[in-house]
Amino acid sequence: MSSPFSRKGCALGCGGALVVALVLIGFSVMQVRQINQRAFEAGDEIDARFGTIDDFRPSAGPAITPEQLERFIEVRLAVMGVCDEFGGMHAGMIAMTEPGASGGANLWNNISRGMHRIRAIVAAPGLLGEFAGIRNEALLEQNMGMGEYVWIYALVFYTALGEEPVLNKTETRPGNIADNARFALMGMMERRASALRSAGLDEEADLWEQEKTLMINEPHRVPFADGVPAALATVIESRREVLAALFCTHTDALELMRLSRNRLGYEG
């Protein structure tokens, strides 16, 4: 039977934790609104200047030019600033689900764990907004739209460097490179094939059309999983070491998405 002192301690401790939690939530909501507004405004400017993801039309020239690759690297350098933050949040959430994370006889340990849980929950939306804001502002600085970014990201990390999309590893959403963004990639491949055919490059056009068909039939397939086109490999090889250090597993599931005013998700 618990003593009146332990009940009093719980009342004081739990009540104090609740007040702190409410303050944290209120502060976080205001902070998230400011951060997300920054992402919204930059995203709107990207759409106005470059169009949406589905508006991007690869040319009949190189799939990725050295100049495009350098601009992409600058965007990635900016985004990597939040990679470790996402890693820390992910590790904290895993720790909260481990056996004994919510149990134990020590009142203050339970309160501490509860506060860590609250901090992780209220921090997540702000971190998502921070990521989108940093990425969008970097895209504007490098004169790059979301469509061009998605195109280069997939061909660099999934095709040339062999990174597996995080969403391909989940049980609940198998076979997706960020859902509709995967279909956007296939649309870009189709438009590139059309541009190549218009330029009289039928053999290369066939290559891109065939790869698109393979992706339709194989939900887990990334572009050119059986071999990187030689010209693309040559461009990326010169910067392979730098690019390999700019892939972030913790943000990969978000990279092909755009923060809208209603949710974080794909917007074509």
CA–CA dist 163, 157 (Å, integer): 5
CA–CA dist 75, 26 (Å, integer): 32
- Cα angle value 37/51/213 (rounded, 5°): 120
Which pLDDT score is estimated for 254? 82
Which pLDDT score is estimated for 122? 52
Chain centre distance of CA 229: 26
Burial level of 254, CB count in 10 A (0-12/13-18/19+)?
buried
From 60-64, 108-112, 208-212, the region with the lowest mean pLDDT = 108-112
CA–CA dist 196, 58 (Å, integer): 10
* Backbone φ and ψ of 192, nearest 5°: -65, -45
Quickly count: other Cβ atoms within 10 Å of residue 144's Cβ.
20
220 Cβ partners below 8 Å, 6+ apart?
Answer: 168, 174, 175
Which pLDDT score is estimated for 7? 44
pTM for this prediction = 0.74
| DSSP code of residue 93 | H
Chain centre distance of CA 112: 30
* Backbone φ and ψ of 265, nearest 5°: -175, -175
Which pLDDT score is estimated for 36? 67
Most confident residue range from 56-60, 107-111, 180-184, 256-260 = 56-60
Which pLDDT score is estimated for 245? 96
Q: How many CA atoms lie within 13 A of 100 on its CB side?
A: 4
Going by pLDDT thresholds of 50, 70 and 90, the confidence category of residue 259 is low
pLDDT exceeds cutoff 80 at 32: no
Higher-confidence residue of 243 and 256: namely 243
From 13-22, 136-145, 230-239, the region with the lowest mean pLDDT = 13-22
CA–CA dist 9, 37 (Å, integer): 42
Which pLDDT score is estimated for 244? 96
